[in-house]
Amino acid sequence: MGIELEAGEIERLGRYLALLMAANQVMNLTAIRTVEDAVEKHLLDSLTLLPVLAEAQAGAGDADGEKAALRVLDVGSGGGLPGLVLAICRPDAAFTLLDSTEKKCGFLRHVSREIGLENVTVWHDRAEVAGQDKSSKREKFDVVIARAVGRLASLLEITVPFARVGGLCALTKGQKAEEELAEAKGALRLLHAAHAGTVETPTGRIVVIEKLRKTPGAYPREIGEPKRNPLGVESDIR
């Protein structure tokens, strides 16, 4: 994949995977049960986002034009995929992991302490609620990432509001990425965002969305509404 990891990063990734598999015995973090599958379907799939983060770094800066730490939000982080994996390999970037389940947030905090990740913050909240927080969350991030959270037409409403104007959403999808993009055209228009490209990876596809203008204040809608009634999708299609 053209990605080089340092020895310390490989050790931390192994430690994270061990903690994930152990915690999965008592809470539902992943359906994968073997280490071999977890390496390919979790670690490698998460690492495919590294080139997207590297590209986004060029647009991250402060008012004086100096480079600032890349601000990344992982929506629906769950067991830390892809957020924790990327935080291990990008210690220079600031990662925020958002999840609506307190037990999963507790696991994310535990792992961050255990492997010494000082660049990770964990938020326990619903994306629909956090996305309306103009003081500290809305339109504050350079890159918003999400993996296995839902179809694009619904997912865009709970990710795009967090991105700064000019920022990106990098959404990990499977073979139905193009079908989901076609379905999400209305959502992109309403959210003032555009499809910037789709990256083919050894494990799937990454749909990259650019935020063109500020998100209208009506979005995201109330809890559950983005999933029940995806933006711009006719009821007969749903």
Domains of the chain, start order: 7-228 (3.40.50.150)
CA angle 163, 165, 171 (to 5 degrees): 40
- Which residues, 6+ apart, have CB-to-CB distance to 145 below 8 Å? 49, 72, 73, 74, 75, 82, 83, 86, 169, 170, 171, 172
Q: pLDDT of 197-218, one tens digit each?
A: 999 999 999 999 999 999 999 9
Q: What's the pLDDT band for 236 if we cut at 50, 70, 90?
A: very low
Q: pLDDT of 68-100, one tens digit each?
A: 899 999 999 999 999 999 999 999 999 999 999
Specify the pLDDT at position 233: 86
HSE-CB for 109 with a 13 A CA cutoff? 10
CB 99 within 8 A of CB 127: no
